Structure 1
Amino acid sequence: MHVIPDKMKTYFRYLPYSDVDVLWQLYATTVGIVNIQKGEPYPFKADEQPPAYTCDWSTGRVLSEFQFVYITEGVGRFRSFQGDFTVSAGTVLLLVPGERHWYQPDKDTGWTEYWLGFNGECAEKWLERSFIERDNPLYHIGISQSVIALFEKAIHYAMQEPVCMQQMIASLVPQILARLQGSRKNIGKEKEYDSLLDQARSVFEKNIYVKFDVEAITKALNVNYHTLRDYFNEHTGLSPYQYFLQMKINKAKELLFQKDLSVKEVSFKLAFDNPYYFSRFFKKKTGVSPSKWNGAHVKNDLDLWSEENEP
């Protein structure tokens, strides 16, 4: 099944795989993104999904595969034999075969979820060796642009169907798992840097249409720039300035896709010095010029960034 979304807010596909794909010992089964608005029914498009994939709160679901489910907006609930948990934006569910589970967004908030299903001998060995933990399926990683980019790459491959699509999507699975392992911590026990990063992202979002102002940002966060820079470098691999610019590029993608503004208007709206610099910078970071951006490109991986000069 292949559903082309409205503004890339909903897309899902159940992926074909061959005996040869299985011999690779790791293959993808499904990939998608869905944006459930406040009050919308869930499961979404239940009549368009195979019954085995429908996660109804009244009955739950038992999969015959592994799945990552990443909640990037909203709040909801997750239930398994381990208990009943509140799930918030920044949480990844790592579901394993044979375990009944339930999850759904809160009707008052809705949520956005990405998912990637996979299977194979590699995944079974990861479970056997506790790289995937059956008894500890929740990971709180925050809003990670690098992880979002991996899910979006999987969606991009599923849409474009390149040669060796299965292997290209499957190669993203250990990358996501590695990021989960690196971010493992107990849910509800927030560390200081997580709070600082969340606050910084909020400040950046509020100032997305103005230039980067070190003094104003550090004042709003009540922290010196050296501390802020160290936290960002350690936990995102970027400086605050680089991260802020990436947020501007992501906002530019949204504005360009809506087609309400010209490239020049987007440039000035986001406080770039001039349209020429904006166009060069946009192409450098996305691989395509803003005039050719059509929303199908999903290359916003923060890992692709090179060092930039800071103000």
Structure 2
Amino acid sequence: MAKKPQVRFRQCAKPEQGALLAAGYIDDDSADDEDCRDRRLEDFALVYLLAGGGEYEDELNGRREVAQGDVILVFPGLRHGYRRGPGKRWHECFAVFQGGIFHQLERDGLISRQATVLSPGLDPALMAGFDAVIRDHLQSRAGSDPWFAARIHLLLMEILERHRRAEDRGAGRNVIGQARALLEERLDERLDLDRLARSLGFSYENFRKLFSREIGVPPARYRLLRRIDEAKNLLVGSALSITDIAERLGYCDAYFFCRQFKQVTKQTPGGFRALFLNRAEG
């Protein structure tokens, strides 16, 4: 016999003021692929996917995959549905709530029907927050207490903030990829790092901090390291003199090139070339 989904929640009568109406857990790993489509709620709901995954769709945004760590934000009157992935588990915690404060969030643009799937990730603090609300709600006789709505509001704000941070990290990685490509170009030319930062939409100071956090070294240091890498390639892969290599890489003279090379590698260019040739011959 197929295992039935485990559902635990408590539902309260809808009060006039904002409140938490229902909350609980659903854990479905049955053999049957449940298909719940064409649903409409009268209220808001949050569904935090704790394990497994599947598909979610609504009438405004179409269909998309959802996975562990995603949050589905259901809006009143919005037709929607979901389907557990074949052979996958669907383990969620959820809260159904209503109140003017949440409608105001929508009017202010902080939540949107065009953004019904958020990705804060599987976060212990969020999980603990949901669990505390659900536990207190299951044990409370005062389900209409507006305090529950206030707690849901705080959880929703935390979800939105973590989602924003995740998006910023993704955007930051894209910017860093572009920056690295630009820093690795035309190593023989002087690069205006302030102009590069502005071309990417940053002040130089903010760009330097972001780049250093993601890569581990500031942009200027990164470009220097790439010049030294190219110098190493020329030292072992060509017969160019050290003066010619310095000129090819845009150094004003061989002395300054040798000085920077030794600062980075702890060897002179000539010593580096000789060591490589000795190893190759050995």
> Conserved in 2, the CA contact under 8 Å of 1:77 and 1:106?
yes
Once the two structures are TM-superposed, the CA of residue 71 in structure 1 deviates from its matched residue by 0.4
1:105 to 84, 98, 101: 84
CA distance in 2, matches of 1:121, 1:77: 30
**Pair 1:39 & 2:41 matched:** no
Look up the equivalent residue of 1:12 and give its one-letter code. Answer: F
Quote the residue 1:67 is aligned against.
Answer: 45
Provide the TM-score with structure 1 as the length reference: 0.49
1:1-311 correspondence runs (5 A): 10-19=7-16, 22=17, 26-40=18-32, 42=34, 56-57=36-37, 60-80=38-58, 81-161=60-140, 166-185=145-164, 191=170
CA distance in 1, matches of 2:143, 2:66: 35
Larger Rg: 2
Quote the residue 2:250 is aligned against.
Answer: none
Provide the TM-score with structure 2 as the length reference: 0.53
**Percent identity (aligned):** 19
SS in 1 for 2:163: coil
The alpha-carbon distance between structure 1 residues 84 and 164, as it changes in their structure 2 partners (threshold 3 A), is: closer
SS in 1 for 2:82: strand
CA distance in 2, matches of 1:82, 1:145: 29
Once the two structures are TM-superposed, the CA of residue 129 in structure 1 deviates from its matched residue by 0.7
Unaligned runs of 5+ in 2: 174-212, 215-282
> Conserved in 1, the CA contact under 8 Å of 2:20 and 2:143?
no
The alpha-carbon distance between structure 1 residues 125 and 157, as it changes in their structure 2 partners (threshold 3 A), is: same
The number of residue pairs the alignment matches comes to 170
The alpha-carbon distance between structure 1 residues 178 and 186, as it changes in their structure 2 partners (threshold 3 A), is: closer
Larger helix percent: 2
Once the two structures are TM-superposed, the CA of residue 14 in structure 1 deviates from its matched residue by 1.5
Once the two structures are TM-superposed, the CA of residue 154 in structure 1 deviates from its matched residue by 1.8
Once the two structures are TM-superposed, the CA of residue 164 in structure 1 deviates from its matched residue by 7.0
Quote the residue 2:245 is aligned against.
Answer: none
Look up the equivalent residue of 1:39 and give its one-letter code. Answer: A
- Which structure 1 residue ranges, 4+ long, deviate > 6 Å from structure 2? 186-190
Look up the equivalent residue of 1:65 and give its one-letter code. Answer: D
CA distance in 2, matches of 1:18, 1:76: 33
Once the two structures are TM-superposed, the CA of residue 106 in structure 1 deviates from its matched residue by 1.0
Once the two structures are TM-superposed, the CA of residue 159 in structure 1 deviates from its matched residue by 2.0
CA distance in 2, matches of 1:116, 1:158: 10
> Conserved in 1, the CA contact under 8 Å of 2:20 and 2:144?
no
The C-alpha deviation readout for 1:136-194, integer Å capped at 9, x for no partner, is: 11111111111111211121112211557623321221111111221225999974999
Root-mean-square deviation over aligned CA pairs:
3.1
The C-alpha deviation readout for 1:89-146, integer Å capped at 9, x for no partner, is: 0000111111111112113112101111111111111111111111111111111111
Look up the equivalent residue of 1:62 and give its one-letter code. Answer: R
The alpha-carbon distance between structure 1 residues 79 and 164, as it changes in their structure 2 partners (threshold 3 A), is: closer
Once the two structures are TM-superposed, the CA of residue 34 in structure 1 deviates from its matched residue by 0.9
CA distance in 2, matches of 1:189, 1:168: 32
> Conserved in 2, the CA contact under 8 Å of 1:38 and 1:107?
no
Look up the equivalent residue of 2:71 and give its one-letter code. Answer: V
Unaligned runs of 5+ in 1: 1-5, 44-55, 195-229, 232-311
The C-alpha deviation readout for 1:45-69, integer Å capped at 9, x for no partner, is: xxxxxxxxxxx23xx1111111111
